[in-house]
Amino acid sequence: MSDIRKSLKLILAKTQEELDQGAKVRSIVLTTEMGFDVASQIDEKDSISKYVLATITTPENKTIPIGSLRLYRYSPKVVKIGRVAVLKDYRSLGVGKEMMLFAEDFIWNYDEYAGVEEIGLNSVFEKQEFYKKLGYHTVGDMFLEENHPHIYMARHRPLHPY
C-alpha cells in the first residue's frame, strides 16, 4: 500500500458524480466479477445509505475511483456496512481495510450514530477472514444471498476507558 497510500483519498460521497463513480466500481466488482444480479445493485436501502468512495490520484493528476462501500442505519443500535467493493488491480493493497476503518471511525464518532452499539455486515462466506482481521466475529450460520454463501458478522462499539 506504500505507493497507493500517498494518493489514496477516502470521502463520504456527496455529489452525484461521486455517487456514480462508486456505483460504477460496485457494478464492476459485484455484478461483472462476482455475478450478483444487477437488479440487486439498487434497493430500498440506497435512499438511506451513505457511501464511502476511495480514489487515487495518478502521476498525471487524474482521479480514479477504486473502491466503494455503503453504510446505513439498520436499527436504532445497529449500522450495516455493505456492497464493499475494490477494483481487482487494487486488492491486497489495504484499500478495503482503509475504507472499513474510515467507515467505522465515521460511525463511532458521528453524532447521528451516538446510540449505535454494533456494526453488522453480510460477508461473502469466503471473505470472512478479511473482516475477522478487522475485529468482526461471525454470528449465526451460513446463509444464501443470491445463491452465494454469506455469513453475518458484527463488531461492537469499542469501550473508551476514561
Are the C-beta atoms of residues 42 and 36 closer than 8 Å to each other?
Answer: no
Which pLDDT belongs to residue 41? Answer: 67
- How far is CA 30 from each of CA 40, 61, 72, 83, rounded to the nearest angstrom? 10, 28, 19, 8
Q: Which is the CATH superfamily of the domain at 2-156?
A: Gcn5-related N-acetyltransferase (GNAT) (3.40.630.30)
Domain boundaries, the chain: 2-156
pLDDT tens-place string over residues 32-50: 888 887 655 677 788 899 9
pLDDT interval class at 157 (50, 70, 90): very high
Where does residue 138 rank: exposed (0-12), middle (13-18), buried (19+ CB within 10 A)?
middle
For 3, the grid coordinates are: 505507493
Which pLDDT belongs to residue 43? Answer: 75
pLDDT tens-place string over residues 76-105: 999 999 999 999 999 999 999 999 999 999
Average pLDDT, the chain: 91
Are the C-beta atoms of residues 143 and 151 closer than 8 Å to each other?
Answer: yes
Spatial CA neighbour of 30 closest among 79, 70, 62: 70
Q: Is the pLDDT of residue 111 over 60?
A: yes
